[in-house]
């Protein structure tokens, strides 16, 4: 929310207090009601500011969590590639040095490595999917806060219109 909008809630609150006091002093209930409406509008403007700030913070936190998860997935992928490369080098060395039995053993190890890599890849994909779902949930939460803010704005508008009507009735 802009500083001007923050000034708006202060102005509305001051108007409300002034009209409320003037209405009480003059015995003018309509003026007192108009003052109360201005104060309600100021409260609504403050709520809008708070909800928008919370929504922005939630969105930033969700984005940061997603980036952190992506970095962790990338670190894991690199580590898996390095481990796989080391295993392949070792298997190749065994093939060169060993007879037929050792070659068969190396083939079994290679199959195990591939199965492990596939399992790790599936686990990484599950983690990625969970993170995506979590981000979607956090974005839904942020959207809900934005909806609340919009409702608060609408309420402030209605209060403003009510204050205008009350002012016209005077």
Estimate the share of the chain in helix, then strand, then coil, as percent rounded to the nearest 5.
95, 0, 5
How many other C-beta atoms are found inside a 10 Å radius of the C-beta of residue 134? 14
- Give the span between the Cα atoms of 42 and 44, in whole angstroms: 5
Domain region containing 62:
3-169
pLDDT digits (tens, 9 = 90+) for 60-96: 999 999 999 999 999 999 999 999 999 888 877 776 6
Identify the residue with better confidence: 134 or 2: 134
Place of tokens 């686990």: 123
Q: How many domains does the chain have?
A: 1
Two tokens at 24?
């009480």
Q: Is the dihedral of CA 123, 128, 129, 134 positive or negative?
A: positive
- Sorting pLDDT into bands at 50, 70 and 90, what band is 51? very high
What DSSP character marks residue 2? -
CB-count exposure of residue 34 (10 Å: 0-12, 13-18, 19+) = buried
- Sorting pLDDT into bands at 50, 70 and 90, what band is 98? low
CB 117 within 8 A of CB 34: no
Q: Is the dihedral of CA 28, 153, 147, 55 positive or negative?
A: negative
């Amino acid at each position: 929310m802009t500083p001007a909008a923050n000034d708006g809630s202060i102005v509305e609150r001051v108007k409300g207090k002034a009209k409320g006091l003037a209405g009480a002093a003059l015995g003018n209930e309509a003026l007192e009601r108009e003052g109360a409406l201005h104060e309600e509008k100021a409260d609504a403007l403050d709520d809008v500011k708070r909800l928008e700030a919370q929504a922005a913070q939630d969105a930033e936190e969700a984005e940061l969590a997603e980036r952190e998860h992506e970095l962790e997935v990338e670190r894991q992928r690199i580590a898996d590639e390095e481990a796989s490369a080391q295993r392949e080098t070792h298997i190749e060395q065994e093939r060169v040095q060993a007879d037929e039995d050792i070659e068969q053993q190396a083939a079994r190890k290679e199959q195990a490595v591939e199965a492990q890599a596939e399992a790790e890849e599936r686990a990484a994909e599950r983690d990625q999917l969970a993170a995506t779902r979590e981000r979607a949930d956090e974005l839904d939460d942020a959207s809900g806060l934005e909806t609340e803010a919009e409702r608060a704005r609408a309420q402030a508008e209605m209060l403003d219109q009510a204050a205008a009507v009350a002012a016209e009735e005077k």
